[in-house]
């Protein structure tokens, strides 16, 4: 019987093949690698924050996209996974139907998460903050996290891509421009692709201000140690202080 990851890869490849002009190579690689990235995050978090993973664990994937990042978490015992996004994921629906993997799905706006306060142990906020009203969503994340809960997040570091192709549309040096000019340039250069980026952050401090009530406890970078990680990160972990 095919594994969950094999079924996911099959449906993602079929979806990408049906839209050959809409998905550049970097989009294809991003979509297909989500379970692998999720597995790495799961292993890291269970090792680094073992106390959060004791007993039943409730995990929320905010802006979960195709659902691939959440699947390794959903395969674990004693873990309840909740996926929320404004748009349905045909990929996740297919995988759940074919394999029975347990993921609760909610079509909702993350500025009003339909969950009780302090009901979640771990929030996955992966490649999402740059697409949403960050402060409004951040307040909701802080509300649903229990005291001591953590938020694992990734978002492209703006400094990393200043003089490279931007990570969403592949336009060279796009991120040198202010946000409103990025939208204009992208519309001119990629007229068939709607520009869906609100803001890429310059620093970890800017991210922290968008998640009020949470404290940055870790900034990880493959390129830097110490202070400079705050400007060029791979992922961040934020924690809700104990009451």
Q: Residue 152: which domain range?
A: 4-156+204-239
pLDDT over 80 at 66, yes or no: yes
- 141 and 165 both lie in a single domain: no
Residue 86 sits in the same domain as residue 126: yes
Asked if 166 and 104 sit in the same domain, the reply is: no
Q: What is the mean pLDDT of the chain?
A: 91
Q: What's the pLDDT score for residue 20?
A: 57
Mark whether 183 and 165 lie in a shared domain.
Answer: yes
For residues 94 and 44, membership in a common domain is answered with yes
pLDDT for 168-202, tens place per residue? 888 999 999 999 999 999 999 988 888 999 999 99
Residues 149 and 55 in one domain: yes
Q: Per residue in 152-162, pLDDT tens?
A: 999 999 999 99
Number of C-beta neighbours around residue 199 at 10 A: 17
Give the number of domains in the chain. 2
Domain match, 116 and 223 both: yes
83, 51: one domain? yes
Angle at 145 between CA 35 and CA 108, to 5 degrees: 65
The 10s digit of each residue's pLDDT in 21-46 is 544 555 666 777 888 999 999 999 99
User: Given phi > 0 = left and psi -120 to 50 = alpha, else beta, which region is 230?
Assistant: alpha
Q: How far apart are the first and last CA of the chain?
A: 46
Does pLDDT of 70 surpass 70? Answer: yes
Please choose, from the candidates 213, 169, 214, the residue with its C-alpha nearest in 3D space to the C-alpha of residue 191. Answer: 169
If asked whether residues 76 and 179 sit together in one domain, one would say no
Query: Same domain, yes or no, for 108 and 180?
Result: no
The answer on 129 and 113 residing in a single domain is: yes
Do 53 and 168 sit in the same domain of this protein? Answer: no
CATH number at residue 117: 3.40.50.150
3-class DSSP state for residue 27? helix
Identify whether the C-beta of residue 214 lies closer than 8 Å to the C-beta of residue 141.
yes
């Amino acid at each position: 019987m095919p594994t969950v990851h094999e079924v996911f890869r099959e449906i993602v490849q079929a979806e990408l093949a049906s839209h050959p002009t809409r998905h550049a190579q970097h989009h294809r690689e991003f979509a297909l690698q989500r379970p692998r990235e999720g597995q790495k995050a799961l292993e890291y978090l269970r090792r680094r924050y073992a106390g959060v993973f004791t007993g039943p664990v409730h995990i929320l994937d905010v802006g979960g996209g195709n659902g691939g990042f959440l699947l390794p978490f959903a395969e674990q015992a004693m873990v309840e996974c909740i996926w929320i996004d404004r748009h349905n994921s045909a990929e996740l629906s297919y995988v759940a139907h074919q394999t029975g993997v347990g993921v609760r799905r909610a079509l909702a706006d993350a500025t009003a998460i339909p969950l009780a306060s302090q009901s979640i142990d771990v929030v996955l906020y992966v490649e999402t903050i740059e697409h949403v009203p960050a402060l409004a969503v951040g307040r909701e994340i802080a509300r649903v996290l229990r005291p001591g809960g953590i938020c694992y997040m990734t978002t492209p570091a703006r400094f990393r891509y200043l003089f490279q192709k931007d990570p969403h549309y592949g336009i060279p040096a796009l991120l040198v421009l202010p946000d409103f000019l990025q939208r204009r340039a992208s519309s001119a250069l990629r007229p068939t692709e709607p520009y869906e980026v609100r803001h890429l952050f310059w620093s970890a401090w800017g991210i922290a201000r968008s998640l009020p009530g949470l404290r940055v406890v870790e900034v990880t970078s493959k390129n830097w140690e110490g202070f400079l990680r705050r400007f060029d990160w791979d992922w961040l972990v934020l924690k809700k202080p104990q009451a």
